[in-house]
Structure formats: structure tokens, C-alpha cells
Amino acid sequence: MSGANTFFVTTPIYYVNDKPHIGHAYTTLACDVLARFKRLDGFDVKFLTGTDEHGQKVEKSAETAGMTPLVLADQNSGNFRELARILGCTNDDFIRTTEPRHLAACQALWNKLVEKGDIYLGAYEGWYSVRDEAFYAEDELIKGPGETKLAPTGAPVEWVKEPSYFFRLSAWQDRLLKWYEDNPDCVGPNSRRNEVMSFVKGGLQDLSVSRTSFKWGIPVPGDDAHIMYVWLDALTNYITALGYPDTSGDFARYWPNVIHMVGKDIVRFHAVYWPAFLMAADLPPPKRVFAHGWWTNEGQKISKSLGNVIDPLSLIETYGLDQVRYFLLREVPFGNDGDFSHRAMIGRMNSELANDYGNLVQRVLSMIGKNCGGVVPERGPATDDDREMLDPAYGLLDKLRAAMDRQLYHDAIEAVWVVVRAANGYVDKQAPWALKKTDPARMGTVLWTLAETIRCLALLTQPFMPTSSARILEQLAVPDNQRSFASFGPVGALGSGTALPSPQGVFPRFVEESPA
Ligand code: ME8
């Protein structure tokens, strides 16, 4: 397999029975930030998202809405595609599981699993949750109201009895455990890896991989009475998009460096079933699966029945796109659960974006405008203070690479903010406005050091806040072809004498309307 210097990042494909909400936006944004970071860092990146359109849940929702599943899928798939666009996402592909390319990939994978002896015909009798599209063992269920039983997720379950094909998952227990042990980074964060390993150590049952009691899915090759279990169908999307069953081309290029970004609700499907299917089909398991945490709304679980679903589009309208992108990845250590609150959103927007970063850029650029004739000043000899300012700024790229490779977005942002705060401290200490009369050359050096620090900061904030960072880079007259990380550090240092456009504020404060 090739794959040197490539990077493949995927979101879960979202069910089309629902409208996109903040949780979907979160995963997709996290992938976009990673994809942008890697592209800026010179990687050959592929970023995939899309929609999961088959299965009983979608079929039922369509029935309730009085439409065919495909009409429902067309509508809602369009909403997810639009969400990615509005979020400013740079996905290279948008896959729908109702596409012909996906049917071909699923059937090829199925045939391969049959050929390898990992699929056999039997009958399933047990619990199924349509909401989770998952089978549950009796001992996993929890008590519901009255005599009812519920899935461990709280979803209703029903007793299902039907002929079914099975995947020999039980035979993969040891090979899965060996995979987790040999590849400590294959599931992140560590707490999830431990959880997955203990689930697998607890013993695996063969998995029902076809259904006969409804029709909305991909037919099992050679047995039209069965459709494929929606998770086998859905997981295959990741390789459909790379051209499977052709394993040369994009598959060879990107598969070795894949990261599947998922919510913690679906880690078992990605870190147990999926690698087992792949290994059974003689394909390498994913390089990494990262499961992030769960958002609540002002302390409450987000759910349609509570009527507290947060619409990402209205958040963007209220606060601005870059502000929302920043907040979601800054507020919560990635991997932990988080709570959305307007207060926290406004707090970060005003204190970190407007006061810290925005104010730094604004004061430095307007001083250059006023005191240096609007051109990048001359850089005189550096003092210890100047070096103490610039060296940590130049050191940021390596810090961010390390953080982003472990999906520690909040650490990456915090590292940038350490330098933002240091730069504000340096402005106060050097007081360049006072140097104008006493030592204009020194003033020039101080302002150059600050402008160069801001250039480094803005290069690094591009993946998180692409529009605002571009505006800062424009104000520093950094040309488009010098905005990748290849220009980070001394190699791309600002040249003295470059004329700068007149400065404009980049991060507005959020002013709450006072009640009338
Ligand atoms: O599970 N907080 O699709 P889905 C954080 N089709 N993330 C959240 C969230 C929340 N409150 N709610 C949803 C499916 N998410 C399958 C996936 S993949 C082969 C098939 C995000 O529409 C999170 O990424 O239910 C979660 O895993 C995903 O949406 C579930 O989306």
C-alpha cells in the first residue's frame, strides 16, 4: 500500500430521518479543521462526509411523513449537504448510500465475506432497537416504565424473529484484541479504547447482518428476500468513496491514513464491527477511530421531544460562522462531553476573540497605520524581550502538529492563546506609542515583531477560523501563495516596506440587546 503524506478524514454519515443539529455540525467541523490543518501542512487530503439513507428507521420516518424513503432521503440529504456548505466545510466528496457506486461496493464486500466463509445463513431471535438500528442482548437492556425494557441508550426495543445471515464476529475476538494491543493509537481517546477492549474481552456473539421484515436497503447478492443490515451498508461508505472494490487508485492512496471521527454513541460499530469486517475481507482495519463526547443544551440532553434541539444555522446567524467554529472546538476538551450555553458562547466570543485576539490585531495594525506610514516597519536588532516574544510564536507550529495528530483541538487553541496573551503583554510593556518620539527605530522593531507574531498566529488559526484569519493575513499583505505552513516561521517573515491596507476590525463584540 502507498499513502505517504496522505490523510483521509471521515465524518459519520448521518441518518436522513432527522434534520441536522449542533451535534452533527460539531463532528463535521472537527473533521474540517483537521482537513484544513493537514492541507496547509502539505498533506494530500481527502475529507468525506455524507448521509446514511437506508434501514428501518428511515423507512418508518418516511411512512410517518407520508412519502417514499427516497423522497425523504433526497430532502434531508440536501439539508446535510447544505449544512456542510454553510459551515464552510472543505469536504472533497459527499456520499449517499443510495448511490449506485455504494450498492456496488456493498455487494462486493458481502461477496468477499461469503467467499471467506465469514457469513452464514441462520435465524435471528432477539431484541432490536429501530432508533439505534442495533441488536441488544437481554443482559444489556435496562428497565423502562412499567414492565417495559429499553436499550442501554434509553431507546425502545422490539422482539424480532426472522431468517438472517450472520457475520462470524465471535471468530474475530482474539484478532481484534491483538489489533488494539499492537496499535495503541487505533482508538482514541484512551478511555474509549479501554471501553472497547473490555467489551471485546467480554466475548463476542455472531452478528446478524441481514433483515427480511422490511425492504428499504441493499439487497443481499443472490438472495433478494434479505437486505443488508444498515450498519454493514453504512460503514462500507468509507471505502466506497475510495473506489472499492478497486483497491488500487484512491484506496491505495488514502486508506492507509484514515481517521474516522465519530461520536461516542457509535464507537462500537466503528472500533469492533468495522475492523472485523475489514480484516475478514483481507483489508487493513482503519488507522484510527476517534470518538468525541456529547453536547447537551443548557444542561439538558438534546432531543426532539424536549424541543431543545440547537439549530447550527441560527447560531451562525446570531454569532457568526468563525465564532461558532471557534467556540465548539475551544469550549470542551475534545473527547469530553460539553454543555452549550449562550452565556459561554458570548463569553468566549467577547473575551478571547474580541478582547484578546481582535484587540491585539487592531492595536498593532492601527499603530503601524498611524506611526509607520502604513508600511511594515524596519526590523532593527532584536532584544531579549523581542526574542522572548517571537521564539514561542515560531515554536507554535510543532506544538500544534503534535496536538492535532491526537485531536487535541483545545490544546492547540490554548497554545495559540498563550502567545496571543504574551503579545498583548509585550505591547503593554514595550509601549510603542511612547517610543514614537524617543526612539522611532525601536518602535519600528517592536511593531515589526508584533506584526510578525500576528502573521504566525493568523496562519495557525486558519483551520479554525478561515474567514477571519484570511482577513488578518490580507491586512498584513500576505499573498495567497504564502499562507500555507511552508511559509510559517522565519522563512516567510514579513518584509519591511510592504504597504498595508487600512486596518479594519475582525472580531466584533457581541452586544446583547437590552430588554425594551
Ligand atoms: O449514527 N453531541 O447517524 P446519526 C455530539 N447513521 N455529537 C452528536 C450529538 C450530540 N448531542 N448528536 C449527534 C448515525 N452527534 C449513523 C452513522 S456511520 C457509518 C453511520 C453526532 O445521524 C455524532 O458524531 O445518528 C454522532 O456519532 C453522530 O452525530 C450520529 O449521527
Distance separating alpha carbons of residues 88 and 360, to the nearest angstrom: 25
By alpha-carbon position, which residue is closest to atom 18 of ligand 1?
12
Give the number of domains in the chain.
2
| Tens-digit pLDDT profile for residues 333-378 | 999 999 999 999 999 999 999 999 999 999 999 999 999 999 999 9
Q: Are residues 84 and 219 in the same domain?
A: yes
| The pLDDT of residue 298 | 84
Q: Are residues 119 and 253 in the same domain?
A: yes
The reply to whether ligand 1 has any atom less than 6 angstroms from the CB of 266 is yes
Q: Is 231 among the domain residues?
A: yes
Q: Which atom of ligand 1 is nearest to the CA of 52?
A: 6
CA angle 29, 35, 36 (to 5 degrees): 90
By alpha-carbon position, which residue is closest to atom 10 of ligand 1?
23
| The pLDDT of residue 317 | 97
| The pLDDT of residue 515 | 62
What is the DSSP code string of 199-218?
Answer: HHHT----EE-EE-S---SP
- 3 state SS of 96: strand
| The pLDDT of residue 445 | 98
The reply to whether ligand 1 has any atom less than 6 angstroms from the CB of 260 is no
The reply to whether ligand 1 has any atom less than 6 angstroms from the CB of 197 is no
Please report which confidence band the pLDDT of residue 302 belongs to, taking 50, 70 and 90 as the band edges.
Answer: confident
| The pLDDT of residue 306 | 74
Q: Is 115 among the domain residues?
A: yes
Instruction: Compute CA distances 429 → 379, 434, 451, whole Å.
Output: 18, 11, 16
User: Per-residue pLDDT for 1 more than 60?
Assistant: no
User: Per-residue pLDDT for 153 more than 70?
Assistant: yes
| The pLDDT of residue 453 | 98
Q: Is 513 among the domain residues?
A: no
**Which of these ranges, 298-307, 324-333, 455-464, has the smallest mean pLDDT?**
298-307
Q: Is 124 among the domain residues?
A: yes
Hey, which bits of 62-157 come out as E strands?
A: 93-96, 119-129, 134-136, 142-143, 149-150
Q: Is 335 among the domain residues?
A: no
Q: Are residues 43 and 134 in the same domain?
A: yes
Q: Is 307 among the domain residues?
A: no
Q: How far is the CA of 49 from the centre of ligand 1 (A)?
A: 12
Q: Is 187 among the domain residues?
A: yes
Cell (9 digits) for 157? 426495543
The reply to whether ligand 1 has any atom less than 6 angstroms from the CB of 14 is yes
| The pLDDT of residue 351 | 98
Instruction: Average the pLDDT over 113-128 and give the result.
Output: 96
Distance separating alpha carbons of residues 373 and 7, to the nearest angstrom: 44
| Tens-digit pLDDT profile for residues 167-193 | 999 999 999 999 999 999 999 999 999
Please report which confidence band the pLDDT of residue 2 belongs to, taking 50, 70 and 90 as the band edges.
Answer: low
The reply to whether ligand 1 has any atom less than 6 angstroms from the CB of 334 is no
The reply to whether ligand 1 has any atom less than 6 angstroms from the CB of 58 is no
Q: Is the pTM here over 0.90, yes or no?
A: yes
Helix ranges (H only) for 123-258 are 173-182, 190-201, 230-235, 237-240, 249-254
Instruction: Average the pLDDT over 469-473 and give the result.
Output: 98
Q: Are residues 287 and 401 in the same domain?
A: no
| CATH code of the domain containing 43 | 3.40.50.620
**Residues near 281 by beta carbon (within 8 Å), at least 6 away in sequence:** 109, 112, 113, 116
Q: Are residues 346 and 289 in the same domain?
A: no
Residues of the chain above pLDDT 70, percent: 99
| Tens-digit pLDDT profile for residues 21-80 | 999 999 999 999 999 999 999 999 999 999 999 999 999 999 999 999 999 999 999 999
Q: Are residues 251 and 387 in the same domain?
A: no
More confident residue, 309 or 172: 172
Distance separating alpha carbons of residues 42 and 492, to the nearest angstrom: 16
Q: Are residues 155 and 238 in the same domain?
A: yes
CB 247 within 8 A of CB 283: yes
Please report which confidence band the pLDDT of residue 224 belongs to, taking 50, 70 and 90 as the band edges.
Answer: very high
Distance separating alpha carbons of residues 336 and 410, to the nearest angstrom: 11
Query: Residue 227: beta bridge partners?
Result: 211, 219
| The pLDDT of residue 198 | 97
| The pLDDT of residue 469 | 98
By alpha-carbon position, which residue is closest to atom 27 of ligand 1?
263
Which of 257, 273, 293 is at the close of a domain?
A: 293
Q: Are residues 281 and 407 in the same domain?
A: no
Residue 269: which domain range?
6-293
Instruction: Average the pLDDT over 379-407 and give the result.
Output: 98
By alpha-carbon position, which residue is closest to atom 30 of ligand 1?
14
Cell (9 digits) for 241? 468513496
In terms of C-beta density within 10 A (0-12 exposed, 13-18 middle, 19 or more buried), how is residue 163 classed? Answer: middle
Q: Considering the chain, what is the average pLDDT of its residues?
A: 96
Q: Are residues 233 and 346 in the same domain?
A: no
Helix ranges (H only) for 406-492 are 409-430, 432-438, 440-461, 466-475
Q: Which atom of ligand 1 is nearest to the CA of 237?
A: 19
Instruction: Average the pLDDT over 375-402 and give the result.
Output: 98
Instruction: Average the pLDDT over 142-154 and give the result.
Output: 91
**Residues near 163 by beta carbon (within 8 Å), at least 6 away in sequence:** 121, 122, 123, 124, 212, 225, 226
| CATH code of the domain containing 446 | 1.10.730.10
Cell (9 digits) for 480? 495567497
| The pLDDT of residue 300 | 82
The reply to whether ligand 1 has any atom less than 6 angstroms from the CB of 141 is no
Which of 273, 293, 313 is at the close of a domain?
A: 293
The reply to whether ligand 1 has any atom less than 6 angstroms from the CB of 364 is no
| The pLDDT of residue 513 | 77
Q: What is the largest CA-CA distance in the chain?
A: 89
Q: Are residues 249 and 348 in the same domain?
A: no
Q: Are residues 163 and 78 in the same domain?
A: yes
Q: Pick from 262, 270, 273 the residue to mutate for probing ligand 1's pocket: most ligand atoms within 8 Å of its CB.
A: 262
Q: Is 316 among the domain residues?
A: no
By alpha-carbon position, which residue is closest to atom 24 of ligand 1?
263
Instruction: Average the pLDDT over 472-491 and give the result.
Output: 98
Instruction: Average the pLDDT over 148-169 and give the result.
Output: 94
CA angle 269, 271, 272 (to 5 degrees): 70
Q: Are residues 234 and 88 in the same domain?
A: yes
Distance separating alpha carbons of residues 273 and 167, to the nearest angstrom: 9
| The pLDDT of residue 233 | 98
Distance separating alpha carbons of residues 433 and 436, to the nearest angstrom: 6
Determine phi and psi for 16, rounding to 5 degrees.
-90, 10
The reply to whether ligand 1 has any atom less than 6 angstroms from the CB of 263 is yes
